[in-house]
A and B are shown apart, each in its own frame.
Chain A
């Protein structure tokens, strides 16, 4: 009987401990996605002397072949100080189908080139996953085909045109439109496929304020920076909040991939 009681206590303790941490994937039935953790990636560059606070709002619409439409929106609160530290507060809702029904979880990513650290903050579990600062990620791959010709064996042309200047969110921006055309028949397409990216870039913030992308295969996406304030934000925003447990990961778990989009 004594032995049975000991086993029962151990099982209860094990159950309690198990309940405090998510089980490994594949165990049990999930009715919606569950957040397991996060890691801040290395920024490709550090921008100093251009502090701001704002909201990056993205709307994405995809029309399917049967006329159905998939519409997604996401808002990320972004902050940068004059030293180049950055903070991004994102909701898992932006993961779309990967977070359907479980999008309330927030994750905060911090890049601190001054302290030399990156953090992913989980406000629910109060955990800060710290990853090493390995220097700004560089993009060594240049997207081919800007001048047209064959890219990856695909016949396509690229045109770039200036759209002049415009004031957006109180910021002076320069517009550029890049049109990539995949020739008819290049990938089995009956007619040419055009991908258009329109970007309005603020030299003051050194980032786009408005970006519109359209691709008949993936739909239309509009990303807009709103609620912009150019005041230097509080340094506290770039620190791990009190009460958070810092988990140190000396080596980054993932490397910032080389971009292959349209610049």
Chain B
């Protein structure tokens, strides 16, 4: 068993001993296992146990259709006064959310256990920036959250889809002690 197979949550039902053996033989995976608080391997086992369970047919198609409908409505330009009422309602909702504190100061917590060098490939992991190459192993990092025009993604050399109405994206940036960005991940 190699590292990829070990961390592949949709992999086949290998014996548990294989996983244990790999963990014992691979210091990198052992370190990652320790850093992950044992959650990821348990999730992998859970996924393996639930492999035979599948969603009813048509669910995916329905979800996609609902998404497209919602997407299309929001992208359409306003044509009548109803839009203004909708905007007013949205503002009221936003204001009430602000006043009741429903708007969280932080996005949902997501453990960032990806090394700066980006050697992990888990979903929503940080992507190393060129400046991170060769940075000291023991350097401290802080986190800065920014909202970016989509054009900034392209400026990083990361392909940005033309689709979507969102003109901006929210990103978390790991910053080295010198203030230079080391890694980034996009939240939406």
Report the nearest B residue to A37, measured CB to CB: B145
- Near A by CB (< 8 A), chain B positions 121-163 give 126, 129-149, 152, 155-156
The contact string, 1 if C-beta is below 8 Å from chain A, for chain B 77-111, is: 00000000000100110111011000101100111
- Encode A242-258 as 1/0 by CB contact (under 8 A) with B: 00000101010111111
B61 within 8 A of A: no
| A17–B175 alpha-carbon span in the complex (Å) | 31
A258-B141 in contact given A25-B170, A25-B188 (Cβ < 8 Å): no
Residues of A with C-beta under 8 A to B134: 195, 197, 213, 215, 218, 221, 261-262
Alpha-carbon gap, A38 to B169, bound state (A): 16
Asked whether, in the complex, the Cβ of A72 is within 8 Å of the Cβ of B144, the reply is no
Checking A7, A88, A139, A218 against B137 with a beta-carbon cut-off of 8 angstroms, the contacting residue is A139
B112 within 8 A of A: yes
On whether the beta carbons of A141 and B144 are closer than 8 Å, the reply is no
- Contact, CB under 8 Å: B148 / A98: yes
Chain B: number of interface residues, binned into ranges: 35 or more
> Shortest distance in angstroms between B129's beta carbon and chain A's nearest beta carbon?
8
Please judge, given known A-B contacts A26-B167, A195-B134, whether A107 and B88 are in contact too, CB under 8 Å: no
Chain A min CB distance to B139 (Å): 6
One of B5-13, B40-48, B179-187 at the interface? B179-187
What number of A residues sit within 8 Å (CB to CB) of B?
94
Task: Pick the most buried of A13, A56, A94, A100: most chain B CB atoms within 10 A of its CB.
Answer: A94
Q: Which residues of B pack against A, CB within 8 Å?
A: 27-28, 31-32, 34-35, 88, 91-92, 94-96, 98-99, 103, 105-106, 109-117, 119, 126, 129-149, 152, 155-156, 166-175, 177-181, 183-184, 187-188
Residues from chain A with a CB closer than 8 A to the CB of B141 are: 41, 256-257
Q: Mark out the residues of chain A between 221 and 263 whose CB falls within 8 Å of any chain B CB in the assembled complex.
A: 221, 223, 247, 249, 251, 253-263
Q: For residue A32, which residues in chain B have a CB less than 8 angstroms away from its CB?
A: 149
A223 and B178 contact, CB distance less than 8 A: yes
A115: chain B residues within 8 A (beta carbon): none
Given contacts A88-B177, A221-B134, contact A259 B167 (CB under 8 A): no
Residues in A121-157 with C-beta less than 8 Å from chain B: 129, 137, 139-144, 152
B-chain residues with CB within 8 Å of residue A52 when the two chains form the complex: none
Q: How far in angstroms is the closest Cβ of chain B from A20?
A: 8
> Given the complex, which residues of B lie within 8 Å of A164, measured CB to CB?
none
Is A183 engaged at the interface, CB distance under 8 Å to the other chain? Answer: no
Within the assembled complex, what's the spacing in Å between the Cα atoms of A41 and B176?
A: 10
Kindly identify, within residues 76 to 105 of chain A, every residue whose CB is under 8 Å from any CB belonging to chain B. 76, 78, 88, 90-100, 102
Select one of A56, A94, A223, A247 contacting B181, CB under 8 A: A94
Considering the complex, give the chain A residue whose CB is closest to the CB of B130. Answer: A218
Pairwise interchain contact B105-A258, C-beta atoms closer than 8 A: no
Chain A's nearest CB lies how many Å from the CB of B120? 9
Report A104 CB to chain B, min CB distance, Å.
13
B142 touches A120 (CB 8 A): yes
Given contacts A14-B92, A139-B137, A259-B138, contact A98 B179 (CB under 8 A): no
In the assembled complex, which residues on chain B have CB atoms less than 8 Å from the CB atom of A261?
Answer: 116-117, 132-137, 139
